Amino acid sequence: MNRKELINNIKKKKSFLCVGLDTELKKIPKHLLETEDPVFEFNKAIISATIDYAVAYKPNIAFYESMGVPGWNSLQKTINYLEPYRSEVFLIADAKRGDIGNTSAQYAKTYFDKKVSGFDFNAVTVAPYMGEDSVAPFLEHHDKWVLLLALTSNKGANDFQFLKINEPEPKYVFQKVLEISSKWGTPENMMFVVGATQADMLKEVRKIVPEHFLLVPGVGAQGGSLQQVAEFGMNRDCGLLVNASRSILYASGEKDFAEKAREEARLLQSEMETQLRKFSII
């Protein structure tokens, strides 16, 4: 999916919602545990319930690989279930990879080369700490995207991301990461991850990368404000994918979980439509 197609889907669905598929066995409704593959059955129900409102899905790879081969099988079945919808959903592997060039090349094959691995994600999250040669192999894949970690919402973000660099004009490390890495790719193949609980910093992010899409986790269960994210982060093309995971996945722990997930997704989509109209995007 290229940038134009993604923007068209946002306008068509009046939404920039990304549903995070961070599925945990201990949290899904108990009646699903009796099925052959509880994780897949849960994901399938969530996707069916939210597909009208979501423009993206983001499986968190750790939740699948932690279960070994069965987890990878659940992920593959989830991706296969999404296949008929691939023209309308942007599929992100939340893997946070990043290693020396030849290793990154193998990671890129894992998530982008269907003939090799069976997976065909649109994008993968990548950590930039090891520099350009650790990111470049992902950018070599045509019509695929890198989602580079720029400014996260966890407590530990203060350990490094907000350290000051004394250049001619002092700046934070995260600002330097944005300045340098934005030259590695383009707004057509690179996005940046910026946590919703750092909404006040989105203005600074947009000064450096005004055209790039931002993946913004942390709205919902983590307490991020969708209105603030839109106010400080939206650009002329929307330029946002806002992720919600727990608030949708676990809106109910009972047999009505899919119905409640749909209601939560619909509420977020409605708020997003309001913001898209406010900024004259639709």
In this structure, how many other beta carbons lie within 10 angstroms of the beta carbon of residue 172?
17
**96 flagged as catalytic:** yes
Distance CA 280, CA 171 (A): 33
Radius of gyration over every alpha carbon of the chain, rounded to an integer in angstroms: 18
Residue 74, helix vs strand vs coil: helix
101: tokens are 């060039």
From the candidates 11, 96, 171, 176, which is the catalytic residue?
A: 96
Phi, psi for 50 (deg, rounded to 5): -115, -5
Distance CA 91, CA 58 (A): 6
197: tokens are 């609980």
Beta-carbon contacts of 268 under 8 Å, excluding residues fewer than 6 positions away, are 15, 17, 53, 219, 220, 226, 242, 244, 248
Distance CA 245, CA 268 (A): 12
Helix (H), strand (E) at residue 137: helix 132-139
Q: Enumerate long-range contacts of 168-172, CB under 8 Å, 24 or more apart.
A: 172/204
Task: Show which residues are catalytic.
Answer: 96
